[in-house]
Structures are given as C-alpha cells and as structure tokens.
Structure 1
C-alpha cells in the first residue's frame, strides 16, 4: 500500500501528460507561420511582383506584367507620369496576373501601382516606376506601293512589296525577322535588301491571280542600330488582280499582251534606239498618267546637253525609274513596227496607247527582249525580277 503523498504525485504527472497531448498538433508541425497565422487554414500575406522591376531605358514594346502569390490582384494602374494617361491593361480571370495590352511610349516615365489582397484577408499596395528609352531617330515602315493607291484595283502579278524605312538599318536580320508577307494561297517568297533603307519581297515566280497578301512590319521597339528604333507597327492587305503580261520584242518591233495567259492583243512598237536602248528583262508598272511631261533632266540629261528632251505625252505608264515608259508618241508612228527610235521608252500609236493604258495597271509586267540594252538593274525601282531565285534569296539578311 502506497503512501497518499505518492499517489497524488503520480496523478499530477498523468494529468500534465494528458494536457500536453491535448494541445499538440497530430502532424507534429509548428502551430503558426511567421505572421502568426495558422498555415493549416491556408492564410498567408500576398506577394506582388512587377516586371520590369523599375529603372531606365526600358524597351517600350516590353509589356508590364504584375503577378500575385498567396492572394489575388484587385486593381493595377500604369500611368504616364507626364501626361497622366493610363495604359490599357488586362487582369487575368483568376486574378493572379495583369499585363499591359498596348505599348508604352518612347522617352517616357510610368508609375505602376498594384493592389492585391492575400488569403489572410489583408490588402497590400506595391509601387514601381520605369522610364523608357529615347531613340536618336525613329524609322517608319513606309510601304510601296501605297495601299491607298491600289485599294480598289489591286496589284498585278509582278508587284514586289517594298518597305522603305527612311533611316539606315544596321541590324538588318533583326528587322527582317519582324517583317512578313502571308500569301493566300501560299506561295514561296523571300526578302532582298536593295540598300540600307529599302527591303523588297517577291515570290519565286509571279503571284497567282486572286492572291491575298497580308503584309506586316512589327518593328515598334526594334533596335535598327546606331540609335535608330522602329517607330510603329503596321499591317496592310493587298489583292492581286488578273494576270496582265506584255511581251515587247525589239527584233520584231511588236508587243503581245497576255491576259491570264491568253493573247489579248498585239501592237507595233518602237523601243530605244542604239544610243539609248531599252533595258532588258521584266519591268513592273509603277505609275500611270493620262497626261505626263517627260523631262530627260529627271535622270541627268538637262537643257543644253546632247539628248535633252521635254515633251508632254499621253497614256503614259512608268516601267522603270530612269525614264522608261510605255506611252503614245505620234512622232514615231512611222517607225513603230519597223525600227527602234525612242530614248528608251516603248512607243505606241494613239489607239494602242489608250487600250494599253485602260487595261494595264500597277504591278502588271512588261517583259523586254532583244532590245540591245543592258539588264534592268535590281535597284531600278522594280528591277527585282532581274535576279535568279538563288541570287534573290541570297539578298536576305537571315542566313
């Protein structure tokens, strides 16, 4: 039989053990996190991150992205600090992220303010400021032909697509990666850099009639090099009309015009004389005028020099940038069909010139053979077809 004092001590110890067992977690984890809130309840303070995190010379094409962890974003604003204009943004459906849906501007500072609420129910505000880079020059994606000039009639099967940037491009490959021509139906094509400012796109062979061309330059924020950046993105659509191809032969002094591969008309012509022969090869019509003053001074032969001329001609369609046209010339009617007497143009009589003018348009092709002249240079506006496909592909900056 134990003494009473011993029994009391044993009971006290047992009670203490039971009390400790009742207060302990069955998993053995600590009863609280660092904020004093139970992790078992899933409650935590929200964490907000902003990218870019701040600083200067941020590319304005880079979207601002805000993310939340252990909670959700309630609202985010990105505001131009100088103009007070907010940038459009989009909150994800789950509330875990937000991003800008329009680009920032060059040379500007933006204030970013994000509000969020954690699973602990407590609100949080996070702020940041970013400044975008300020280019020395900006390059616009000017398109040739101008979409407004061909909107109703479309372009011919020989029409190259040209981006003229107006500023030298050092990083040609980086810029070219942002250019695209999507053809429907799909046709193989490639870019060719004529010089540091102009890049052309043409298919391997003439476009198929009825083709739709979606042309894009996604160059905003792209580094052209030497402090030049793309000014804006641009997307345009062209439609290719029926095939019109004229074949002018300097030996026969005849020109045959084919519509969708079928002979539509033949006409006598007079091309460039021996001293000023018409260029060989495929020419592309780039402009047309019912009345046009032709002045040799535009290509360097001015008044007082041998070979100078200035005359008003009717039904004129330009086929190169150095003064070659297809047009009416009443003074050479007697030579048309028998000899080549022009300064390089293809001369027609009045009726044939008017018919040619009414049926042929921008992007249509005039193929010149047996003229005695040199090949039309690739740089002569649309001398694109003078290059073989292999040589044309070699003109791309992307290897």
Structure 2
C-alpha cells in the first residue's frame, strides 16, 4: 500500500459520506421550490464527486501525492491514448503492409519493432516532425512483431505504448518462374514473356496487377492466361529492334486466392537485338530471310510432308544446338508407329515443342526447293543451315505459310502470335 495514497483518499471522504451530502442537498432543494438554488452547495457536491471519481483513476505511471498525482495520471492516460499503432491488434495482415506508429499528441521519442521469434528488429524511419514512424522493409509470413513506442507530450512527460502486429499464414506460397530465364538477356523481336507459378492462382487479376512490364521505347502489350499457373505477355506487334524490356513480378505478400500468397519478388531485363524474321513458304519451297525488314538471303527448303505437315503461323526460336538428336518419342510418337523417327542432326534451332526445328538434313537436299518431305521440320542444306544457325537466336521468328498444316497452338512453346490481338486482350484477367 502507498501511505500517501491512502491519506489522499481519506481527505476526499468515503463514498457513504458523499452519498449523504448529495441526499441532503436534494431534500433541501425539493422542500423549498421558491428558493434559489444553493450554488455553493451544488459546487461543493460537484467538486466532491470529481475528487471521488479522480480517486478511481488507475495508471501505471508515478506522480506526486494528492491532487497533483491525479492530474498527472489523467494527462498520461490521454497522451497514451494518442499513440496509435497500425495495423490494429487482432488483424492478420499481408507482410507488405507497413507498420505505422503515430503520435496524435506530442511527438515520438523512440520506436522499436521486433520479430518476436527471431528477435530481429525491423528497419523504419521517423518523419521530420517526429509524429510518425513507418517500417521500411517487408515483414515475414506467419510472424508476430512487438511494437514498443515512447511518446513525449507538450510538457515533456513520456508515455510508453506497446502493441503486437501479426502477419498472415499462407496455405501455400507460389513461386514465379520466368521464361526466358534471367540468365538470358538478349532476345529477338518475337520473344514473349512467360510467368509460370508452381501453385494454382485463383485470383488471376491480383497476380496480373502485380506483374509489371515496361518497354523502352514504349509499346502496346498485354497478358494472356493459358491456365491457372501460366501467363504470357507479348506486344501487339513484334518488339522493335533495340527495345529494353523489364518485367517485375512484385507478388510477395499478394493474396493470389485460395490461401495462396506470392513467395518472392523477381525481376527480368531483356534487350531486343536486330529484327530477324524468316518467311518459309511451302508453296514455293523457299525461305526468305529479313534483317530489320530488309531481304538479306533466300534459300531452298523442304517442309513437312502431307502426313506430317509443318504448323502454320509465326514460330519463335526457343533453343538451339549445333548437334541434336531428333527423337519423335519426345512428343509421344514412338516405334512401332510408322511416323516415329530418331536421327542425329546438325545446326538445329527449335521452333515448337511438337518436334519442329530448322536444321540441316543432307537426306532431303534433293527435295529442297521442289518438294516437302520432312516430318514437320524446315530442312536446309549444310551451307544454309550453318548460316542460319549463326544469324538466328532465341526470340527470332520463323513464319510458316502454305504448309498444309494446322495453326501452331498457343500453348505450344511460343504459339502466342497465333492469337489475334482482340482475342489476346480478352485473355487478360484484368478487365
């Protein structure tokens, strides 16, 4: 017990004494309706009531005995109420939500935010007027952060405030893989950007809003979802030569639906080299090659025969190998199927995942320029294949016409250019 506190309470009087004072005042005034109110008596009763209520105020701070202690406690309580921590206790927030501590009365003297499990402190900064502290780094998932703040009121008295902030616990975290991989920095004008998630994304719009593509110079482009896990981006027309493309997947902390959240942010930067576009025509069995729109070479070819025609449309080179084993089993056509084959080829550039390449084939040289006899590839002689291999790279384009085959499907590696622009825009999740 605090002796000075006990004496202070006795000077104020007991609750029973206070009740008797109020009762007597009521009887006195009620018995004389024409008499003016006893203003001194009413004032005394009000003061007594205020003192009694003041004696019930609780606070953990220290102060002087008597009325000064009660006033100091009241000031401290008001100042403490003026320190606000957001997000509020009890919420489970995304880890990208900043923690903000605000002194609505006075200024902040010190703020620390600590990961309760790891005992590491979160970086943050005070505003110039010292009224606001804001965290300056992302938080972790499934974590509790202890906030401790000290505020100073106008009279220089300090008040401490503590609070907890808790982040959400995801059911799963989705990782965004990129195609091309970040190790690739140089691409052709036909290169789409592909983001593949390792978890289903049910809120595609939230994911797409977190995927930012910038191009310099600026070009119109858009996203198209092939599935719950795969989104592609391409411009309306081929990229301009010399373009710099930047992809930012800012998905960390993003609710992707169904309890799945983004695992990490990632970035990709690509540079578009000269425009290389080859136009292969099955009717003429010839391929014309254009660099930045100018015809630089023509060469005889042999494309897919009637039983295995080459797909129509724009194909984009996704891989190249100087020596490569062509095996139809890689796309499900295996012996004893008469369409099955396995052969070692040179100067092979992949243009689809359906077994289509541009490559050297000495066995079809006699038909190149006159007949289509391949299993779907674009065959060249040794000299032309070597030249083509040296000049064409990832992202460059091979457009196929008059092959007698179906359109290259959008899902086949980079069949993106088979989709008309209106349909492509309709494939976006953001309307």
Per the shorter chain, which TM-score range? 0.7 to 0.9
Counterparts of 1:128-143 in structure 2 under 5 Å? Answer: 128-143=163-178
- The two structures, once aligned, show a CA RMSD in angstroms of 1.8
Q: Distance in 2 between matches of 1:270 and 1:351?
A: 15
Give the corresponding residue for 1:8: none
Q: Distance in 2 between matches of 1:313 and 1:93?
A: 68
Give the corresponding residue for 1:355: 387
Contact 2:204 2:429 in 1 (8 A): yes
3-state SS of paired residue (1:214): strand
Structure in which a larger fraction of residues adopt helix: 2
Give the corresponding residue for 1:281: 313
Counterparts of 1:103-118 in structure 2 under 5 Å? Answer: 103-118=138-153
Contact 1:45 1:122 in 2 (8 A): no
Counterparts of 1:1-399 in structure 2 under 5 Å? Answer: 35=71, 45=79, 47-55=82-90, 57-148=92-183, 150-151=184-185, 154-399=186-431
3-state SS of paired residue (1:354): helix
CA positional deviation for 1:192: 0.5
Question: Structure 1 residues 307-316 or 375-384, which shifts more?
Answer: 307-316
3-state SS of paired residue (1:390): helix
3-state SS of paired residue (1:55): coil
CA positional deviation for 1:235: 2.4
Q: Distance in 1 between matches of 2:176 and 2:417?
A: 23
Give the corresponding residue for 2:47: none
Q: Distance in 2 between matches of 1:221 and 1:111?
A: 20
CA positional deviation for 1:109: 1.7
CA positional deviation for 1:297: 0.7
Equivalent residue pairs, number: 359
Deviations, residues 10-51 of structure 1 (Å, cap 9, x unaligned): xxxxxxxxxxxxxxxxxxxxxx9x9469x9xxxx84621110
CA positional deviation for 1:304: 2.5
Contact 2:282 2:372 in 1 (8 A): yes
CA positional deviation for 1:306: 2.1
Contact 2:178 2:196 in 1 (8 A): yes
Contact 1:140 1:232 in 2 (8 A): yes
Contact 2:83 2:105 in 1 (8 A): no
Q: Distance in 1 between matches of 2:383 and 2:159?
A: 81
Give the corresponding residue for 2:46: none
3-state SS of paired residue (1:358): helix
Q: Distance in 1 between matches of 2:235 and 2:318?
A: 17
Q: Distance in 1 between matches of 2:95 and 2:230?
A: 25
Q: Distance in 2 between matches of 1:45 and 1:82?
A: 30
Q: Distance in 2 between matches of 1:168 and 1:50?
A: 35
3-state SS of paired residue (1:342): coil
- Structure 1, unmatched stretches of 5+, are 1-31
TM-score (norm 1): 0.87
Q: Distance in 2 between matches of 1:337 and 1:222?
A: 55
TM-score (norm 2): 0.80
3-state SS of paired residue (2:187): coil
Highest Rg: 1 or 2? 2
